[in-house]
């Protein structure tokens, strides 16, 4: 991206210091949207397989979500389990799960998110996404919540790096907990966009250039090589225009988030004429 700067009526050498504000965006480590798309690269294995099917009537990412049906066998607890995923090389890791219910599950037939950090040997950390209810109060679509029935957010997000700082791997399990001894084959939950995101360690790098030459981080020395030395011009007649480029040399996405996107300091004789 490029921005243009204009000097007005100056006859001295001035140093330009401009301060874009950046936000580092997370990258997707693994994702499953149940759409058979290239982005659906996190394998989930259902048990029993007959309880799971794609659903096209409600979803986050089009065209499918994954429908989880109950069984007629108490204690079966249909579940779908992710492949184990290493967390090495990432920080600020978050897991998000979108969920929905059509109101059919009975009281105490609950939807759970279970986490394992030892390749599935144990699942010590669990979150009840939906508390089954025998009334229609537990009927809601993706993105919605019901007080006293669901988690406070949908999708539900777990901050893995903050809550489990020692975690080096993760396996995710979505579980239909059948408590009631009923025939639950017509009771359904739905999940979609199960996503693991994070920052790639050590690869954030912003490169600001003038005349295709890099301006060193924190530099306070004007240079004609990179355009930060604007030279001189007549006070009442001249202007000097410079174009600077902002490049991302890292693997993590970087977004300009300031208002304005780029601001300058050092002298009121400088003006940003074209924002990125």
Q: Which helix (H) or strand (E) holds 163?
A: helix 160-163
pLDDT digits (tens, 9 = 90+) for 115-148: 999 999 999 999 999 998 877 677 899 999 999 8
The contacts of residue 7 (CB under 8 Å, 6+ apart) are: 14, 230, 233, 239, 240, 241, 269, 270, 271
Which residue, among 101, 91, 109, 120, has the nearest Cα to 184 in the 3D structure?
109
Q: Each residue of 16-47: pLDDT tens digit?
A: 444 555 555 678 999 999 999 999 999 999 99
Q: Is 147 exposed, middle or buried (0-12, 13-18, 19+ CB in 10 A)?
A: exposed
Q: Which helix (H) or strand (E) holds 191?
A: strand 188-200
State residue 8's pLDDT score: 45
Domain segments of the chain as ranges: 27-200, 202-275
pLDDT in tens, 254-271: 777 778 888 777 677 778
pLDDT at 13: 40
Q: Distance between CA atoms of 245 and 112, rounded to whole angstroms? A: 48
- The answer to whether 58 and 100 are in contact (CB under 8 A) is yes
Quickly list DSSP for 205-235: -EEEEETTEEPPTT--S--TTTT-B-----T
The percentage of the chain sitting over the pLDDT mark of 70, rounded to a whole number, equals 85
Could you name the CATH architecture of 27-200?
A: Sandwich (2.60)
């Amino acid at each position: 991206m490029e921005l243009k700067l204009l000097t007005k009526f100056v006859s001295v050498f001035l140093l330009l210091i401009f301060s874009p504000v950046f936000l580092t965006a997370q990258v997707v480590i693994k994702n499953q949207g149940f759409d058979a798309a290239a982005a659906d690269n996190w394998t989930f294995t259902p048990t029993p397989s007959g309880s799971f099917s794609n659903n096209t009537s409600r979803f986050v990412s089009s065209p499918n979500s994954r429908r989880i049906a109950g069984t007629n066998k108490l204690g079966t607890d249909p579940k779908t389990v992710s492949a184990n995923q290493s967390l090495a090389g990432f920080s600020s890791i978050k897991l998000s799960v979108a969920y929905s219910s059509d109101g059919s599950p009975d009281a105490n037939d609950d939807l759970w998110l279970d986490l394992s950090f030892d390749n599935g040997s144990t699942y010590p950390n669990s979150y009840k996404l939906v508390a089954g209810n025998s009334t229609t109060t537990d009927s809601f679509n993706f993105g919605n919540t019901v007080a006293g029935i669901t988690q406070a957010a949908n999708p539900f997000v777990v901050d893995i790096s903050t809550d489990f700082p020692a975690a080096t791997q993760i396996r995710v399990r979505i579980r239909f907990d059948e408590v009631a001894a009923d025939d639950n084959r017509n009771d359904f939950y739905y999940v979609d966009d199960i996503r693991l995101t994070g920052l790639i360690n050590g690869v954030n790098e912003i490169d600001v250039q003038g005349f295709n030459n890099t301006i060193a981080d924190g530099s306070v020395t004007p240079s004609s090589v990179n355009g930060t030395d604007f030279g001189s011009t007549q006070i009442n007649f001249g202007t000097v225009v410079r174009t600077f480029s902002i490049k991302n040399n890292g693997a993590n996405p970087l977004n300009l988030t300031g208002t304005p996107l780029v601001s300058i300091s050092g002298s009121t004789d400088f003006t940003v004429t074209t924002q990125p």
